[in-house]
Each structure stands twice: as C-alpha cells, then as structure tokens.
C-alpha cells in the first residue's frame, strides 16, 4: 500500500481537483459532471471555506478531494445556525476501495468538528456514510432541503450539537444551481 498525505487544497490544485471529480462522477460521453461545476461555484461563493477543502495526495498527485461548505439550519425556535454541508467527495476510480476516501472522510470530520459547527449534512448512501456516524436527518430532527431527499439526507452531529435543536438544513447557494 502506498503512503499518502491529506492536506488543505492549494490554488494550484484546482485543475487536479476538477480531474478527480470528473473521473469519480463522470460517465463516458456525458460531458462535465455537475460535481466539477459545483466545486468551482463553491470557490466563488460566500459558502466557500478554504480550510475545509481537503485533498489526498500520493506521490505528488491529487487522487481524492472532499469539501465542506457553509450551510445553515433554519431553526424552529431561534435564529439560523451555521452548519456544514459535505460534498462532493471524489476519489480517482483506480484508488477507490484503498482506504483513501475513508481517510479523507475522517480528516474532514475532525477538521469540521474543530470549527465548532454543530453538524455536517450530506446527501448520499446511508450504507456507505453510516460507517462514519452519519444518521438519517429525521433521527435528530433535521429536515432536508427537499423532502424527496429524506431517504438519503443524513447528518453527523459534532461536539457542539445541542439535541434539542430542530430545523431545516439549507446548503450554500451553488447547490441550488445543480442540474
């Protein structure tokens, strides 16, 4: 098994990150995946959190990327609360199943918890993300941005989470523009 390092994204990583997301999410002949455009739009948005855009680098090459952006929880009984939205997370196809994606997830969870955000939300496979502690958002009283996402919308509560909190999660604005 090769060694790799997980670090913050640098400006010179942008093209490599696009290549990782394209390879991870693209289908041959389908054009540029929405995940590539989403990462680029997040970099230009108010939701961009540079310290939460992480890459896995192996032998000088970026082989995986994950990002958390600023989201919010429209709380039932108070002002909106800053939270984090995870995604996309992409791993080069030839490196999937090697542990790099899991290591990147654990690094992101630790980095996110250090920001004092109360939770991370994501849309993805419950079978995959439950290994990191994500649960259906309904289990902790969080509504997805779109009710049709309920089966796949998950959250991970972090150290500053207050169990009495209830509300609806809202992603950074670039998520609204996905096709």
- What is the tens place of the pLDDT at every residue in 72-97? 999 988 899 999 999 999 999 999 99
74's tokens:
């429209």
> 52-75 pLDDT, tens per residue?
999 999 999 999 999 999 999 999
Please state, for a pLDDT cut of 90, what percent of the chain lies above it: 90
Rounded Cα distance, 156 and 78, in Å = 21
Give residue 179's pLDDT band: very low, low, confident or very high (50, 70, 90): low
Give the span between the Cα atoms of 11 and 85, in whole angstroms: 21
| Topology (CATH level 3) of domain 5-177 | Aminopeptidase (3.40.630)
Query: Please, which pLDDT band fits residue 3 given cuts at 50, 70 and 90?
Result: confident
Q: How far is Cα 165 from Cα 162, in angstroms, rounded to an integer?
A: 6
At 96 the pLDDT is 93
Instruction: Count Cα atoms within 13 angstroms, Cβ side, for 3.
Output: 1
In the predicted model, what is the mean pLDDT of residues 26-43? 86
Residue 76 is predicted with a pLDDT of: 86
């Amino acid at each position: 098994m090769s060694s790799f390092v997980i670090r913050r994204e640098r400006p010179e990583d942008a093209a490599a990150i696009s290549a990782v997301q394209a390879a991870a999410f693209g289908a041959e002949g389908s054009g540029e995946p929405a995940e590539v455009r989403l990462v680029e739009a997040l970099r230009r948005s108010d939701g961009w959190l540079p310290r939460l855009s992480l890459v896995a680098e192996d032998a000088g090459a970026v082989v995986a990327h994950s990002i958390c952006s600023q989201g919010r929880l429209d709380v039932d009984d108070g002002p909106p609360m800053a939270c984090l939205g995870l995604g996309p997370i992409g791993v080069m196809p030839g490196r999937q199943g090697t542990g790099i994606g899991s290591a990147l997830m654990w690094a992101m969870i630790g980095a996110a918890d250090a920001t004092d955000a109360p939770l991370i939300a994501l849309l993805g496979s419950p079978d995959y993300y439950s290994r990191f502690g994500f649960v259906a958002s309904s289990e902790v009283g969080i509504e997805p941005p779109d009710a049709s996402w309920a089966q796949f919308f998950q959250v991970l509560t972090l150290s500053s989470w207050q169990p009495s909190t209830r509300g609806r999660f809202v992603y950074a604005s670039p998520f609204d523009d996905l096709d």
